[in-house]
Amino acid sequence: MNQAVTEHLQNSAVSEGHEIESKPSVIQTKGLDLWYGDSQALYDINMDVQENQVTAIIGPSGCGKSTYIKTLNRMIELNDSVKTKGEIIYRGRNIFSEYSVEELRTQVGMVFQKPNPLPKSIYENVVYGPRVHGIRKKQVLDEIVERSLRGAAIWDEVKDRLHKDAYGLSGGQQQRLCIARTLAFEPEVILMDEPTSALDPISTAKIEELIQQLKTQYTIVIVTHNMQQAARISDKTAFFLNGKLIEFDQTVKIFSNPNDKRTEDYVSGRFG
């Protein structure tokens, strides 16, 4: 790991310290098992996501990190063969039995790996969520568009071409548009599944900066295969391996002094 990251970790360890522990849990996962057909992908996952924090999930390809984050808003159920056991409690209610998927996904929004704007204008992309939830007044929608695009730090770049095709934007801009689109329906939690893996370094830096700003108002869970990224932007880090949660702790701890040998091997680049 490079010098700058180590310094950042030490600084944040000093500045934030134990205050992190006191934040309330938003999502609690209790004994979650998950199968694709007959093959088990997640084994007995137990972890809490805390309010106004960035929780990073790291691990090698195929470790179940993407599967886990997609389970948090039940997007995983788009796959017919998925079966789950165990509980995920969001705000005191079991997401599998006490929420409809529509209600859950409105409160737990998602940004995907590959920027996926709809083949519509920038404006239409942002108002898609609010429209789906029944907001029709143009004035209200206009306000939502400006607020969301500002919130995703892309307003200045697109304000003159709101009604142009979203596919005319660069990859990085498309991804920030997707974040804006998620902010538009005011979720409480934002899930991000490797949001920068398809982007260049400059776009990646912008998104990381944006995540730091969003954290003050939203709870963020981010899957990343980039360990430096996890170290730079997250408060807590979970390390997944072969469908099991190996270690979950303060990011500082995971990257400087992990408890488990496998975590240490992974973060120091010995495998993965």
> Applying CB under 8 A, which residues contact other proteins?
73, 75, 78, 80-81, 101-103, 105-106, 109-110, 112, 114, 116-119, 128-129, 132-133, 167, 178, 181-182, 185
Give least dist CB 108 to other proteins, A. Answer: 9
Give least dist CB 2 to other proteins, A. Answer: 34
Give least dist CB 79 to other proteins, A. Answer: 10
Neighbouring C-beta atoms of residue 138, cutoff 10 Å: 9
Tell me whether residue 222 or residue 254 sits nearer to other proteins (CB atom): 222
Tell me whether residue 182 or residue 224 sits nearer to other proteins (CB atom): 182
Tell me whether residue 57 or residue 183 sits nearer to other proteins (CB atom): 183
Tell me whether residue 184 or residue 211 sits nearer to other proteins (CB atom): 184
Pairwise CA distance, residues 125 & 227, whole Å: 31
Tell me whether residue 49 or residue 254 sits nearer to other proteins (CB atom): 49
Q: Do the beta carbons of residue 86 and residue 44 sit within 8 Å?
A: yes
Tell me whether residue 43 or residue 128 sits nearer to other proteins (CB atom): 128
Give least dist CB 130 to other proteins, A. Answer: 9
Q: Do the beta carbons of residue 265 and residue 271 sit within 8 Å?
A: yes
Q: What is the DSSP string of 158-221?
A: HGGGTTSBGGGS-HHHHHHHHHHHHHTT--SEEEEESTTTTS-HHHHHHHHHHHHHHTTTSEEE
Closest CA to 49 of 8, 89, 87: 89
Give least dist CB 268 to other proteins, A. Answer: 34
Structural element, H or E, at residue 237: strand 236-241
Residue 253 CB burial class (10 angstroms; 0-12, 13-18, ≥19):
middle
Give least dist CB 129 to other proteins, A. Answer: 4
3-state secondary structure 114-150: CCCCCCCEHHHHHHHHHHHCCCCCHHHHHHHHHHHHH
Tell me whether residue 111 or residue 241 sits nearer to other proteins (CB atom): 111
Which is it for the CA torsion 142, 144, 145, 146, positive or negative? Answer: positive
Give least dist CB 121 to other proteins, A. Answer: 13
Question: How many residues belong to the chain?
Answer: 272
Pairwise CA distance, residues 16 & 22, whole Å: 11
